[in-house]
Structure 1
Amino acid sequence: MFQAYPKPASVRSPILPRLPRSRCAEHGVKTIVPPWAGKHSRFTLLFEAFAVEVLQACRTVKAAAALLGLSWDAVQTIMDRAVARGLERREATPIKHIGIDAKSFGRGQDSITVLTDLDGSRVLDVAPERTQVAAGSVLATLTVEQRQKVCAVAADMLPAYAQAVATQTPNAERVHDKFHVAKHLGEAVDQVRRAENKALQAEDDDRLKGTRQLWLFT
């Protein structure tokens, strides 16, 4: 185990403790967990806390690994342990307003479902895909009491999300976020503009020609 510091200092302070260990015929070899490091970790908690700050400042794990002078797997493991510690400390406090949204990545080919605490500005859970099962799984991470006390859910306008929200949070009002409302409104306005423009052009009237941007962005 060692305490590592990022470049340019590149200073490593080795810690070589002799941790008490026992060998059991039934449970195998067991060692204690030292107060300065996590179980089976090669890094101190102090360094892992610093690594998490670097991760938060970087766009990718690869970029953080380059700054820390570690492998991608090592940094990913540090992040996984930090998330696990955070989940262990999370208290089942009432959450009045939550959000469920779909996010795309990988050139739009992959999607995830994100559950957020809107009042606390924090991500509560993430699940792959944007389906009713995904929405139900992230909502299920809240306790039954928490789900019953949710007052409103700001959700993507997917029917699958609507079904999950109605099932998991029966006392909550469903709110459409303004982005999707504006998107549907813009599509409706553009559809009417195209129909009107086609009808006017049949009468040699070009007054709506070239006005698409005017209707959509003013």
Structure 2
Amino acid sequence: MSELLTIAMPKGRIFEEAAELLRQADFQLPPEFDDSRKLIVDIPEENMRFILAKPMDVTTYVEYGVADLGIAGKDVMLEEERDVYELLDLNISKCHLAVAGLPNAKKSEIAQKVATKYPNVASTYFREQGEQVEIIKLNGSIELAPLIGLADRIVDIVSTGQTLKENGLVELEHIEDITSRLIVNPVSYRLKDERIDDLVNRLAQVVQPV
């Protein structure tokens, strides 16, 4: 019997695209896998266990070893800076991190307020630009901040730009392109290297080129 592999992955778009990749790599995931409301899903046929987590928690589960592997957006990896290895760019769930705000908004001479759920990423970016800002941490509806006067600008994920447009905001600066990555716990990689390498090699065959 091969060793059990535990994989943490987020629900939503990343989950759907990652599940499709696994199927293309000839992993036998049952149809009901996609619709399960369980937080832990076992696939005995593949000796795999999936932990369904919030996107920001995937890297934590992998770092602490409750999951051997995880599928996480590069945005989460940049923000969380966890002790994990990145094995493969899956080239799915493409988007980018950007600075956005109201069009024609004038920059104040004092430190501007920037709302974001990525305070570490935002702080690093503006520091590298030589710009002093005040970071306001929010967990959702980031686009609301400039509309109600909470912040001058925001740092957030942009996919199609439709959400910005619908809220009267424009993209001001491009920070970094984002895709989802396969990550691994360093200890798991040593103990289950053959099983993990097999998974990586099979996925690499079906990942679409960047």
- TM-score tier (shorter): under 0.3
TM-score (structure 2 length as normaliser): 0.26
Greater relative contact order (Cα < 8 A, sep 6+):
2
- Between Structure 1 and Structure 2, which shows a larger proportion of strand residues? 2
User: Max radius of gyration: which structure?
Assistant: 1
TM-score (structure 1 length as normaliser): 0.25
- Between Structure 1 and Structure 2, which shows a larger proportion of helix residues? 1
